[in-house]
Chain A
Amino acid sequence: MTIGLEHYLVLSAVLFCIGLYGALTKRNAVIILMCIELMLNSVNISLVAFSSYIVPLLLTGQVFAIFVMVVAAAEVAVGLAIILAIYRGLTDIDASNINLMKW
């Protein structure tokens, strides 16, 4: 069996759904952050796959994936800083308890 574009896309979709599920259900803020990383990287896979299958001579998708990784790194830095700040205030990083912004 040859590996085609659809295999990559299915992998990407599965990873994205796992990440989304984790981001919506996990209570630990650090794990939620990790799940978001998972979603971002699943997208990276589909970008690179599209690029190499559809426009093999161009590197657009790869370059874009690297951009995403850079942004993701920055996001992790900010996200962890926020989580740390919340932990200092609440001594807890359970996402279901962080609900001060409700009605």
Chain B
Amino acid sequence: MIPYQLVWLIMLLPLFSFIVNGLIVRPFIKPKSRVYGYITVGAIGVSAVLSIWALFSVMSASHHEIPVPDVTWMVLENGVTIHLGLILDSLTAVMLVVVTVVSLMVQIYSLGYMHGDEAGYYRYYTWMSLFTFSMLGLVLSDNLLFTFVFWEMVGLCSYLLIGFWFHRKSAADAAKKAFIVTRIGDFGFLAAILILFFNTGTFDIAALHGLVIAGTLGGTVLMWAAIGIFAGAVGKSAQFPLHVWLPDAMEGPTPVSALIHAATMVAAGVFLVARMFPLFEYSTAALTTVAIIGGFTAIFAATMGLVMNDIKRVLAYSTVSQLGYMMLGLATGGVAVGIFHLFTHAFFKALLFLGSGSVSHSTGTFDMRLMGGLRKTMPWTYATFLIGSLSLAGIWPLAGFWSKDEILISSLANQPVLFWLAMITVFLTAFYMFRAIFMTFHGEYRGGDESGDYKHTHESPLVMVGPLVLLAILAVIAGWWNVAGGFNEVMGAHGHEETRGFFGGLFGAFTHTVQGVPLPLISLLVGLFGIFSAYTIYIKKWITAESLGRVFGPLYTLVSRKYFFDELYENIIVKLALMKGLFTGFTLFDSKGIDGTVDGVSDVVISGGQAIRHAQTGQLQLYGLFIGIGVVIISLCVYFFG
């Protein structure tokens, strides 16, 4: 059993490395020194070990929860007490492991990847530490107030790290876009917190769950609160219609994309819905909204992933799509299903991002049209990237197969229409991932960035390949946790899994039937068909991509221009509705209304003065006369009325 002080330490160690890196050692050590990296890796490494310990403690604890004493932060006048407390249940423990392990891998990888960055090295590690701290705080916090604070802090870190190379305009713009777009969702989250506090007088998550289950909190209030929370999740997890920021966020360094925009921060939205799940469970409308948005986003983003030429953007759309899957899984199958996919996805998607970083480290570009044939010079990157892709495509027996399968099963049971979307997405996912692999690692080398020389491509150093290999191992085995229902048991979801043992489950997947259909087998075949389709087009070239583009001309344009969502937001909403409409209205109101009032008052005073100044004759005796008349009038008033 882990002592509760160490649970605090999990969260505070990255804060410590943030303070040391950012505020203490900076004046004494050169900005490009590797010491910053070592401090961060050390702190997060210890955090990771403690997190794994915490996970094992939670697994063996009764009710899968370890109590952590609260600290009272403040008592409001009306007696409301706000605690500074941590929650350590199975959901948090799983998230802790995901965050710290992926973060550790990414930090080690960054030692090599960010090495060329002269001045930014310390800044990078400072912010990465702050991000890890905020993310851990977010998953550990036991009340909505602190959840929101950490929620905004991860958003801030995301902003800082997307704009890490702020001297590039595109990066600065992308950082701003990410921040502003997620703020739209955060507004909903904040509104939901206020609705809940107004109606219940508490921020405490466990207390809110209790009220919902007891039926005290329900009806319209609950629905709006749940939808508000989901709005926050939509922004953070880049769900439709706020998905536009995530692909642009790829302007940041690749390890940042791997950690923040694939494995952890974007999954915070999914985590939040899971954390507040009773609120959704008791509000059918909210749960249906989550399912529809998630299912739609899954296929919507996958179609855009098909046509991107930038390898990181393919992965970005893939992330959006997979987050949609998680939402669908949460809405149809409950916390265990959604979070299990989050768990496996974190490893293989971080692996894929780091792999793409490794490729660009060698070729100097992210454009897949300039790559090709790299499997010979970069065997380790190739092998790990292949494992990650197979896992993402849902190929047996890798991690993605198990988690995706559960989402498909639960959506078939609850949302048959969305099930078909999800099934098509399986095909699309396999297709775009293997399109990326074939364009990057197979065929002839097509030039790269500057040298254009094939022999300049090289395998990345051990410090980068090491994390890739470790993540690849996790991308294989992470799914096996639930083969015999172990993960569901930890998450408290007992149910459809019959006890059949590990190997029984591993091979039973082929014969497992849902409603009389061998669903796992079908999804596997669909995934393999996706890979085969990519093979025919990009390796055998039986059908060329160009001819497909011609046949589906308008459709291709629509998809490759991202369904014109950027244009819609930029031109219609921002430029037309906001700048031409609303802001022009405000400007008009300001110049005519406000300024008009101010000018009008002074005009009245000026013209009034002009009119009555002629009373000032300069004749002293006239003034005296008026004074005299005044005195008489006052005297008479006093006499008659006083």
**A residues bordering B, Cβ < 8 Å?**
20, 23-25, 32, 95-96, 98-103
Contact = CB atoms under 8 A, between A and B. Distances in A.
8 contacts: A25-B621, A98-B618, A99-B619, A101-B616, A101-B618, A102-B616, A102-B617, A102-B619
Contact of B619 (A20, A23, A32, A96): A96
A102 to B, nearest CB: 3
B627 to A, nearest CB: 10
A24 B628 CA distance: 9
Contacts of A20: 628
B624 interface: yes
B625 interface: yes
Contact of A100 (B618, B621, B628): B618
Closest 7 CB pairs of A and B: A102-B618, A99-B618, A103-B613, A101-B618, A103-B616, A24-B621, A24-B625
Given A20-B628, A24-B628, A103 B621 contact: no
B483 to A, nearest CB: 100
A102 B618 CA distance: 4
A101 B623 CA distance: 12
A17 B618 CA distance: 23
Contact of B620 (A25, A98, A103): A98
A23 B624 contact: yes
A23 B627 CA distance: 12
Contacts of B167: none
Contacts of A101: 616, 618
Nearest to A32: B621
Classify the secondary structure of B's interface with A: helix
A81 to B, nearest CB: 17
Contacts of A32: 621
B614 interface: yes
A101 B616 CA distance: 8
Interface in B587-642: 613-614, 616-621, 624-625, 628
B617 A99 contact: yes
A30 to B, nearest CB: 14
Interface of B: 613-614, 616-621, 624-625, 628
A23 B621 CA distance: 7
Nearest to B614: A103
B446 to A, nearest CB: 88
Contacts of B614: 103
A2 B251 CA distance: 112
A24 B617 CA distance: 14
Contacts of A96: 619, 621
A23 B617 CA distance: 17
Nearest to B621: A24
Contacts of A100: 618
Nearest to B617: A102
Contacts of A25: 621
Given A24-B628, A101-B618, 4 more contacts: A96-B621, A98-B618, A101-B616, A103-B618
B620 A95 contact: yes
A101 B620 CA distance: 9
A103 B620 CA distance: 13
B618 A95 contact: no
A40 to B, nearest CB: 15
B178 to A, nearest CB: 65
B632 to A, nearest CB: 10
B621 A95 contact: yes
A98 B619 CA distance: 7
A32 B619 CA distance: 13
Contacts of A23: 621, 624
Nearest to B610: A103
Contacts of B620: 95, 98
Contacts of B613: 103
Nearest to A100: B618
Q: Which of B614, B616, B621 is packed against the most chain A CB atoms within 10 Å?
A: B621
A99 B625 CA distance: 15
A52 B398 CA distance: 121
Nearest to B626: A24
Nearest to A17: B628
B618 A24 contact: no
B140 to A, nearest CB: 77
A47 B141 CA distance: 86
A84 to B, nearest CB: 17
B301 to A, nearest CB: 77
A65 B616 CA distance: 35
Contacts of B617: 99, 102
Contacts of A102: 616-619
B573 to A, nearest CB: 58
Contacts of B618: 98-103
A65 B446 CA distance: 116
B617 to A, nearest CB: 5
A41 B613 CA distance: 35
A101 B614 CA distance: 12
Contacts of A24: 621, 624-625, 628
Q: Which of A24, A96, A98, A101 is packed against the most chain B CB atoms within 10 Å?
A: A24
B639 to A, nearest CB: 14
Nearest to A27: B621
A79 B100 CA distance: 95
Nearest to B625: A24
A33 B621 CA distance: 12
Contacts of B616: 101-103
A103 B625 CA distance: 19
Q: Which of A25, A32, A98, A103 is packed against the most chain B CB atoms within 10 Å?
A: A103
B362 to A, nearest CB: 87
Contacts of A98: 618, 620
A102 B620 CA distance: 10
Contacts of B625: 24
A95 B617 CA distance: 12
A96 B618 CA distance: 9
Nearest to B615: A103
Nearest to B619: A99
A78 B209 CA distance: 90
A95 B624 CA distance: 12
Nearest to A20: B628
Nearest to A36: B624
